[in-house]
Amino acid sequence: MKLTIVGGGSTYTPELVSGIAHQYAALDIEEIALVDPDTERLEVVGGFARRLLDHAGHPAKVRLTADLEAGADGAAAVLLQLRVGGQAARVTDETVPLECGCVGQETTGAGGLAKALRTVPVVLDIAARVRRVAGEKTWIVDFTNPVGIVTRALLNAGHRAVGLCNVAITFERWVAGKLGVAPETITLEHAGLNHLTWVRAVRVDGVDVLPRLLSDHADELADHVGLPADVMRRLGAVPSYYLKYYYRHDAIVAGQQGPSRAETVAEIEHRLLQLYRDPSLVAKPALLEQRGGAYYSEAAVRLVASLLGDKGDVQVVNVRNGSTLPFLPSDAVVEVPARITGAGPVPLPVAPLPPAIAGLVAHVTAYENLALEAALHGGRDRVFDALMAHPLIGQIDQAATLADRLVAVNRDFLPWAAA
Contact between 151 and 181 (Cβ < 8 Å): no
294 pLDDT band (50/70/90 cuts)? confident
> Is 242 assigned a catalytic role?
yes
Helix axes 355-377, 147-156, angle to 10 degrees: 60
Q: Of 12, 24, 242, 276, which one is the catalytic site residue?
A: 242
Cβ–Cβ < 8 Å for 134, 75: yes
Distance, CA of 336 to CA of 233 (rounded, Å): 21
Residue 125, classified by CB atoms within 10 Å of its CB into exposed (0-12), middle (13-18) or buried (19+), is exposed
pTM: 0.96
Band of residue 102 on the pLDDT scale cut at 50, 70, 90: very high
Q: Over the stretch 391-412, which tens digit does the pLDDT of each residue have?
A: 999 999 999 999 999 999 999 9
Which residues, 6+ apart, have CB-to-CB distance to 279 below 8 Å? 47, 51
Please write the tens of the pLDDT for every residue from 166-219: 999 999 999 999 999 999 999 999 999 999 999 999 999 999 999 999 999 999
- The Cα–Cα gap between 399 and 377 comes to 19
Kindly list the distances between the CA atom of residue 54 and the CA atoms of 11, 41, 299, in Å, as whole numbers in the listed order.
19, 20, 22
Calculate the CA dihedral of residues 103, 106, 110, 112 and round it to 10 degrees. -140
140-174 pLDDT, tens digit each: 999 999 999 999 999 999 999 999 999 999 999 99
Q: How far apart (Å, rounded) are the C-alpha atoms in residues 244 and 314? A: 27
Query: What residue ranges in 206-265 does DSSP mark as E strands?
Result: 207-208, 238-239
Burial of 201 (0-12, 13-18, 19+ CB in 10 A): middle
- ω into residue 146 within 30 of 0, thus cis? yes
* Res 414 pLDDT > 90: yes
